Chain A
């Protein structure tokens, strides 16, 4: 199994540009989530999904959209990039809801917005 994969690994955007961060898992996990990690802040939940067709907001959803058309994929879209979105983004998946099961994390996408 490849586990959780994320692309790209690195990305530089100009303010106002849009882009999609890709996340895929091959473990047939129902629960997927997106986090951002900033220095000294730990991980903050952006959006999560409990299954195909179902998404919900996390702690810091503004400026981001998600969709879940398949069990395997959970892309994160930045609508109009801002310097405050400079961060490392992690996708995670698990068998069930966030607290009860261990989360499997992808390797991350390092995003810089200039």
Chain B
């Protein structure tokens, strides 16, 4: 069974707007990762946040983690057409296995 669930399933925004998506998970974790997948391509790693971190930034990306609520959010600021993709959170319920959610599909309109 999948550990993580993203919300919303789909998101459509205007270029320049911010996009926020959430990930909830079921069991305690050591780390949480976010990945991007462009249509028909493999996944690309965006950011990793450890369980003892609350917030992390990378360029236009901001990730938060609330272990008490078992949730994380990914914020993309000032979106561009190139941000159109599916975004997945991945958690590590045990050391060797990474569990992915079903993803949020983001469409950025010009």
Contact = CB atoms under 8 A, between A and B. Distances in A.
A100 B31 contact: yes
Q: How many interface residues does chain A have, given as a range?
A: 20 to 34
Contacts of B40: 108
A98 B92 contact: yes
A43 B95 contact: no
Given A42-B2, A90-B42, A99 B101 contact: no
A53 B34 CA distance: 30
Tell me whether chain B's interface is mostly helix, strand or loop, or mixed.
Answer: loop
Contact of A45 (B41, B91, B99): B99
Given A42-B2, A42-B88, A43-B88, A102 B45 contact: yes
A24 interface: no
B78 interface: no
Of all A-B residue pairs in the complex, the 5 with the closest CB atoms, nearest first, are A99-B92, A105-B42, A98-B98, A102-B45, A43-B100
Interface of A: 4, 31, 33, 35, 40-45, 48, 50, 56, 58-59, 90, 92, 97-108
